[in-house]
Chains A and B, each alone.
Chain A
């Protein structure tokens, strides 16, 4: 069997998810034996193919040019993976959607604001069909490997659809709420191993909402902790501004 042709692309993002791929220091050389990386602008000059079996797409779609480019990628790949929070749920790029976009452009670029094209931030699946999602800001190395391994074996990758709280309990952490902090764990998709609560911090919701979150209960919980409606919306809108709950 020929090795699958894999390509990496980035739109509006910090390129940290591509870096997470390069951070697979123990596995990278083995991986290169299993797949052909044919395009990866951040790391390679050579473009070995313009058609791909798997395209990892990092970043949000935020300009008219992005829209055309991601459509082009979709036409040239068999499988498209939304890679990281900017691509899967819009991530922090969607914060700007809650201000008038012309104001945003004027605040940052002053009298030259019209030079800078921007559209409301979109996740990749708002423009083209996405086959698989690797969540997180940044993605976890473990999940990159799990998805790549599943695809190499011809299996469906398993993406968790239960809240971070499950993993946090398994990690035997003291509940973040008991420490007096507010946490997005009860409504946020697991898969990170509850990394942030395990480092004494709170879940900030970078992996997006689970598919059936009890957002009303979460809002009540946050309100019980003394947060105002504005504060609560800020919690939801940090990474997940495109979700229905953030719009209310």
Chain B
């Protein structure tokens, strides 16, 4: 009988001790924010375009962490969906966008037509448009994320979204055709 009593007492004592330690750790090492949302946010392309229906990448990251779909990011495209699927261990889904994946774009203001209304400046989520009231505006191309948000507010429609031109610095080698996919004559004509 006393053995049972000792065992129960020991277990109760141990559980109390570990419970106290766990309780202390939960308070002492509390993680601020949602770490999963942070990781998702790091994968998203940060264009802040709002095409996913959320006001920016972080809100969408939080929504994904809360269970939203991972295929709502057109600027990220398939690569982002793959990365998210891997991170969250879910099945990758096809991109949910009307026009599919678009090339990297950059906003361009036809400066002769700009009336200096500052509406695009207020719309730009990354402060990539320079200008002042009644002064011509200009896009800092290297800061532009190509999010499209400045196009709609422009009262004179002087903003174009143009695909980023390939330069020698951005040029990349093409992937060779996988082996076995062509016969010799095809291959020669492909070259």
- Are A and B co-members of a single complex? no
